[in-house]
Structure 1
């Protein structure tokens, strides 16, 4: 793996402007709006669970899109769906070997969110008293959710759950290191100009896409490096 370091401060700032200016992060680039409403937050959560699975990330996005387009765009609606129907939708979207297991996980997730939070993850935020550590702990108690899923979810949700910031997932940090933009979420917050802003969420999401899509050469050209 070749490291394409952008060492000059002005070059780094130019890369950040290009990444943020040409993107609204990760989820919105693939059709999932990042807003603080129950449906959007639940979609971001199951997208994150699917993205955690190994394999082509495009299959994860396709599966999440298929679930949403089936009408399961909220916890309440997914909770009412049948396991075999979810399995069929996931298989049609390209999730072959793990479709049945994912179907069970997503059903358990939806029912738990309905039972504990009346289908609204904003209630989880309130229960956590807007404390990032408590939010992470409560998210980790949900079916199918682990630390990696929490990072993927909060990577997007930090645009609207400002107290959770700064958050950067593994992929974003890999890209940041390879491009010489920093080694931590705090480093990226400094480059974004604020630890609690949409700009940081968009930068982190754009970096994750850079790594997943192997767009390092393109980013290097944008930097003039």
Structure 2
């Protein structure tokens, strides 16, 4: 199976973004961008991705879809949402981190992460640095946010984080962002990045995709 066939199968079988799984209709607007930030925080600990996305859905179902709503919510309400999603072990610390992060977004960016984008001025590394100022988000989390948000922030394209590039290499695919980008249209880059991550996290060995 050549690279084009492998990528086609990846997109077909695994090409659902984590934002989509969490029920986020991603647009370049304040609420969905903040929801992606919440998902990023939830994914930034050692916990299964499906539990993290389930926790995001529970928070959003509870009305915590904006930084103001999150900042004004009770800490226990966040913990309870995590309990419904079986997001345990990190529930209390993550509930605290979400409250502090929401306050930061409200105070510094007036609730609108497009202001963070403007501050980064098209520099992906600066964007990642600013994201790391949000409680709980580190290098891995900033990569998660960027690989998903490239759908609506095209200046980041092509963005593949370390995990997705490593998975591409194990599959015999180009393992640079530019190399991978030659095989898909711009609108599919986030889907391909997510597919590579999903395969890397699968209990199956990544090479089975290329059979």
Task: State the shift of 1:209 in Å.
Answer: 1.6
1:57 corresponds to: 49
Task: State the shift of 1:169 in Å.
Answer: 2.4
**RMSD of aligned C-alpha atoms?**
2.0
Q: Within 5 Å, give how 1:77-88 maps onto structure 2.
A: 77-88=69-80
Task: State the shift of 1:140 in Å.
Answer: 1.6
Task: State the shift of 1:95 in Å.
Answer: 2.2
Q: Within 5 Å, give how 1:76-225 maps onto structure 2.
A: 76-192=68-184, 197-214=186-203, 216=206, 219-220=209-210, 225=211
Structure index of larger Rg:
1
Task: State the shift of 1:47 in Å.
Answer: 0.8
Task: State the shift of 1:161 in Å.
Answer: 0.9
Conserved 8 A contact 2:171-2:207: no
Deviations 1:156-176 (A, max 9, x none): 001111112222123322321
Residues in 1 aligned to 2:21 and 2:72: alpha-carbon distance in whole angstroms: 29
Task: State the shift of 1:187 in Å.
Answer: 2.5
Q: TM-score, normalised by structure 2?
A: 0.89
Residues in 2 aligned to 1:85 and 1:189: alpha-carbon distance in whole angstroms: 42
Is 2:5 the counterpart of 1:18?
no
Conserved 8 A contact 2:22-2:56: no
Residues in 2 aligned to 1:35 and 1:84: alpha-carbon distance in whole angstroms: 29
Conserved 8 A contact 1:160-1:198: no
Deviations 1:49-74 (A, max 9, x none): 21121132211111111111111011
Q: Name the stretch that deviates more: 58-67 or 167-176.
A: 167-176
Distance 1:95 1:109, change over 3 A: same
1:3 corresponds to: none
- Equivalent position to 1:34, from 19, 26, 36: 26
Structure 1: tracts of 5 or more residues without a match: 1-5
Conserved 8 A contact 1:139-1:145: yes
Q: Name the stretch that deviates more: 207-216 or 118-127.
A: 207-216
Deviations 1:129-162 (A, max 9, x none): 2322322222122222211111000010011111
Q: Name the stretch that deviates more: 35-44 or 205-214.
A: 205-214
Task: State the shift of 1:105 in Å.
Answer: 0.2
Q: Name the stretch that deviates more: 131-140 or 67-76.
A: 131-140
Residues in 2 aligned to 1:48 and 1:85: alpha-carbon distance in whole angstroms: 19
